[in-house]
Structure formats: structure tokens, C-alpha cells
């Protein structure tokens, strides 16, 4: 499937926007493997299986860690077989993983269930579209990724309350099965028919316009470096690569920990499951329009400055969470969290193709996605342990603030590396 057929449908506009729509659906259907969806199931697992919170957190963290390590190979497979083949294959695998979760019987099945939905859902179903869209856009990359991000925010807004309703109405087993069926019936056929790996495969060029001629002034200062592709080994020789890689860990660790334990955090403040689901939905609703602002900014300003500002926003958001003890404070936390999330989704996805080009993006973004999933694995367990030891989350939230502080400083120290400095 890597050697694509021609354009499947004739459109009066650049076909890359059709690819963006399918990529957005891929991000949407990664939802069942994302923590904002899984978190709704956790208390039901604890009740039905009579497990401790730290045990379920440990199973989840271990499974996510293994998924993160395995995910590194997905990037290489994308470079080898192309996004279209991988999107169809991974979509089918995720559906089967969801069916598996519908039949959980104990901790071993739970471990493999978490492992599969984290590898195929959170990891691969977001990695593939984030390597696909940059192939189709250079000057309009920020805007294209902003539109693709609609799928992610729609997913994080709809799935928490929808899962709550489905579980209460049909049970958690049936809920997993319904999501598996939706993937096979809706997403996989669309990916097979409409996705093409590169504009060159249908006689187009990135952005749908000719490349800028030498000496032409362009609004996006990153256009030229995008035409010079670094290999993974070359990228790893730069300081910026490692600093940005740490920056990738932080939101994955922090957001996953908070989302995973959101129901419990709100419960300790006297707020019910509905408020927890509302916070997750509000985060997504607020973050959605913010992605368009961040998409506009990253097309015009240096990415590492915007990334640094994002992490200082993380610090403020965690402080708000520390003082959340009422419904209106929960709303404030959801709003600030959504604002920060809207920025980080775009900036952390655009920085890799902008810094290191398109040709080896699968391998480079694959490693970054691996680190991200590993970061998400490390978050929930400490929160669960602090809860079991101290009966709350205040202390671990205070310690967590150190991570965005460090990431903000490293982001400021990570300007775009110059290709010539490493290829003399």
C-alpha cells in the first residue's frame, strides 16, 4: 500500500485537506486508548475486581511503559511501509484490542489490554497522522495541524461523558465492544480509501503550490530547513533534539497522571464523577479554539519561545489545581488546562518536522512518541502511591511542578539547529 494509487476523488481544492480530515479522525479514534477515556473505567475496575488503586495504577503504568518501548519500532515501520498501510493496520489492531478489553477476567488480561490500547491507540493512532500531515504541508503546516487537532479535542470532549453514559447504561464491557465496532466500520474503510502518503504520489506538491523560488520572501521562517531532512542519528547529535525530547515527556507525565486520577482528585474535594468528566470535557472545549491561535503563531514565530510560554502555563495550571475545592474552581482549572493543552498539542507536533524535515520524520517522531508514552507511563503510579500512603495528592502535585519549570528553561535553550553547522 506504500505505492499509492492516484487521487481517489477529484476535489476543487488541494487534496491535502482531505488527508487532514482523515488524520483528524485517526486522532479522534485514538481516544479509547487515551487516559481521558480510560480514566472513566478505572473506578469500575477497582469496584468489580476489588483491586487497590495503586495496583491498577501499577498495571497501567507497566503496560504503558512496555507500549512506549515498543512504539519506537512503529516509526521505522511508518518510514518503510507508509502511513496509509500503517493507518489501516493499526486501526484494525486497535479494534481487536478493544474487543479484548471487553472480556477482561484478571490482572494479566488487564495488563495486556492496557498494553494494546496504549500501543495502538495513544501511541500509534496519534503518531501516524502526526507524520502524515507534515508530508502535505510546509508553509501551512501549523494551520493544517490545528485543523487535525479538532479530532483530538472532539475526542477528549466527547469520550469522558459518553463513556460515563455508556457504562452506566450498558456496562463497561459493552462500551469497549461498541468502540471496537466503530473503528472497524467507520474509520478503517475511510483510511484505506482516502489516505495517500505524500502529495507527490498524486502529482501534487506540499501546500498545493510550487516551492518558493530562491530569494523569495516567505512568512514561515522554517520553510527552508524543512527541505533539508535530517536522519535520526543526525538529529540526535544536536542539543535541541535532547532538550525538546525532555519537553515531550513533561506534558505526557503530568497530564496523564492528573487525568488518570481525575475522578479520585475531585472526589477528595467533595466533587462527584460528573464534575470530573465535566473538567475533562471543558479542557477539550477550551483547547479546541486555542489550537487555531497556536497554529497561527507557530507559522510566524520561533517555536521554542512558544513552547517555553506553554510550560509556564503548565505551572500556573498546577497551582490552580492545588487550590481547587469547589465547582467554580474546578471550572477554572478546566479552562486554564484547556488553554495550555491547546498550545502544547500543536507546538510539540510541529517542532519535529520544522527542525528536522520530512524524509525521516517517522523515525524521529517515533522516538519522540516513544518518550511521550514512557512519560505517560511514569505519571499515574506515583500519584496512586501518594494517595495510598498519605490519603491525598497535594504533595505529589507540588513535586510535579518541578517538571514544567525545568522544561520551560530547556525550551528557551532550544533554538532551531542550523543544518549547515552539522553538515560542513
Chain segment 34-66, per-residue pLDDT in tens? 878 888 888 888 888 888 877 888 888 889 888
Q: Do 232-416 and 15-201 have the same topology in CATH?
A: yes
What angle is formed at CA 114 by the lines to CA 391 and CA 375, rounded to 5 degrees?
Answer: 65
Q: What is the pLDDT of residue 4?
A: 59
Classified as helix, coil or strand, 379 is: coil
Residue with cell 511508518: 78
Residue 418 φ/ψ region, left for φ over 0, alpha for ψ in the -120 to 50 degree band, beta for the rest: beta
Q: What is the pLDDT of residue 93?
A: 96
Q: What is the pLDDT of residues 270-305, one digit of tens each?
A: 777 778 878 877 887 888 788 888 877 877 888 889
Q: What is the pLDDT of residue 209?
A: 63
**Which cell is 396 given?**
505529589
pLDDT of residue 226 exceeding 70, the answer is no
Residue with cell 479514534: 29
pLDDT of residue 149 exceeding 80, the answer is yes
How many angstroms separate the Cα of 43 from the Cα of each of 51, 63, 121, 362, 385?
Answer: 10, 18, 21, 36, 16
Spell out the domain ranges in the chain.
15-201, 232-416
pLDDT of residue 177 exceeding 90, the answer is yes
Of all residues in the chain, what percent carry a pLDDT higher than 90?
A: 29
Q: What is the pLDDT of residues 356-396, one digit of tens each?
A: 887 788 888 888 878 887 787 777 778 888 888 887 888 88
Residue 14 to residue 164: CA distance in whole angstroms:
39
Q: What is the pLDDT of residue 273?
A: 75
Place 225 in a pLDDT band, splitting at 50, 70 and 90: very low
Among 245, 266, 251, CA closest to 379: 251
Q: What is the pLDDT of residue 220?
A: 43
Among 244, 341, 338, 252, CA closest to 71: 252
Taking the domain 15-201, which CATH number applies? 1.20.1250.20
Q: What is the pLDDT of residue 139?
A: 81
Residue 90 to residue 27: CA distance in whole angstroms:
12
Give 305: exposed, middle or buried? Use CB within 10 Å, 0-12, 13-18, 19+.
middle
Across residues 184-192, what is the average pLDDT? 95
Superfamily of domain 232-416: MFS general substrate transporter like domains (1.20.1250.20)
pLDDT of residue 22 exceeding 90, the answer is yes
Residue 16 to residue 135: CA distance in whole angstroms:
9
pLDDT of residue 310 exceeding 60, the answer is yes
Q: What is the pLDDT of residues 195-219, one digit of tens each?
A: 998 888 888 888 776 544 445 444 4
Place 224 in a pLDDT band, splitting at 50, 70 and 90: very low
Q: What is the pLDDT of residues 232-252, one digit of tens each?
A: 889 999 999 999 999 988 988
Place 227 in a pLDDT band, splitting at 50, 70 and 90: low
Q: What is the pLDDT of residues 159-172, one digit of tens each?
A: 888 998 999 999 99
More confident position, 221 or 51: 51
pLDDT of residue 98 exceeding 90, the answer is yes
Q: How much is the mean pLDDT over the chain? A: 85
Q: What is the pLDDT of residue 303?
A: 85
Q: What is the pLDDT of residues 322-367, one digit of tens each?
A: 888 888 888 898 899 888 888 887 888 888 888 888 778 888 888 8
Amino acid at each position: 500500500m506504500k505505492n499509492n494509487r492516484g487521487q481517489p476523488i477529484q476535489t476543487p481544492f488541494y487534496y491535502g485537506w482531505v488527508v487532514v480530515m482523515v488524520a483528524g479522525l485517526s486522532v479522534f479514534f485514538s481516544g479509547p486508548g487515551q487516559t481521558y477515556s480510560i480514566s472513566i473505567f478505572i473506578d469500575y475496575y477497582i469496584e468489580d475486581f476489588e483491586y487497590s488503586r495503586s495496583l491498577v495504577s501499577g498495571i497501567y503504568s507497566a503496560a504503558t511503559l512496555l507500549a512506549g518501548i515498543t512504539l519506537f519500532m512503529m516509526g521505522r515501520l511508518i518510514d518503510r511501509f507508509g502511513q496509509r498501510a500503517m493507518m489501516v493496520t493499526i486501526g484494525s489492531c486497535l479494534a481487536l484490542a478493544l474487543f479484548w478489553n471487553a472480556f477482561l477476567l484478571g490482572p494479566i488480561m488487564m495488563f495486556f489490554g492496557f498494553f494494546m490500547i496504549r500501543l495502538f491507540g495513544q501511541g500509534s493512532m496519534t503518531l501516524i497522522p502526526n507524520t502524515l500531515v507534515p508530508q502535505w504541508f510546509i508553509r501551512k503546516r501549523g494551520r493544517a495541524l490545528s485543523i487535525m487537532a479538532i479530532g483530538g479535542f472532539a475526542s477528549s470532549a466527547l469520550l469522558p461523558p459518553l463513556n460515563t453514559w455508556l457504562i452506566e447504561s450498558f456496562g463497561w464491557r459493552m462500551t469497549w465492544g461498541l468502540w471496537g465496532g466503530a473503528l472497524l466500520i467507520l474509520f478503517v474503510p475511510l483510511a484505506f480509501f482516502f489516505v495517500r502518503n505524500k502529495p507527490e504520489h498524486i502529482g501534487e506538491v506540499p501546500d498545493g503550490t510550487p516551492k518558493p523560488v530562491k530569494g523569495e520572501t516567505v512568512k514561515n521562517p522554517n520553510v527552508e530547513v524543512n527541505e533539508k531532512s535530517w536522519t535520526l542519528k543526525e538529529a540526535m547529535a544536536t542539543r535541541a533534539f535532547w532538550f525538546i525530547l525532555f519537553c515531550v515527556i513533561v506534558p505526557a507525565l503530568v497530564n496523564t497522571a492528573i487525568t488518570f486520577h481525575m475522578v479520585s482528585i475531585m472526589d477528595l474535594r467533595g466533587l462527584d464523577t460528573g464534575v470530573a468528566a465535566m473538567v475533562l470535557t471543558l479542557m477539550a472545549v477550551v483547547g479546541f479554539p486555542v489550537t487555531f491561535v497556536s497554529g497561527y503563531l507557530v507559522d510566524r514565530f520561533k517555536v521554542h519561545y512558544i513552547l517555553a510560554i506553554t510550560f509556564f502555563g503548565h505551572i500556573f495550571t498546577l497551582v490552580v489545581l492545588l487550590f481547587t475545592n469547589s465547582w467554580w474552581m474546578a471550572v477554572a482549572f478546566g479552562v486554564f488546562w484547556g488553554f495550555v493543552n491547546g498550545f502544547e498539542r500543536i507546538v510539540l507536533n510541529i517542532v519535529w518536522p520544522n527542525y528536522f524535515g520530512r524524509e525521516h520524520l517517522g523515525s524521529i517522531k517515533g522516538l519522540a512518541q516513544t518518550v511521550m508514552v514512557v512519560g505517560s507511563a511514569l505519571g499515574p503510579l506515583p500519584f496512586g502511591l501518594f494517595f495510598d500512603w498519605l490519603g491525598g495528592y497535594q504533595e505529589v502535585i507540588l513535586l510535579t511542578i518541578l517538571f514544567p519549570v525545568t522544561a520551560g528553561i530547556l525550551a528557551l535553550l532550544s533554538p532551531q539547529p542550523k543544518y549547515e553547522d552539522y553538515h560542513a
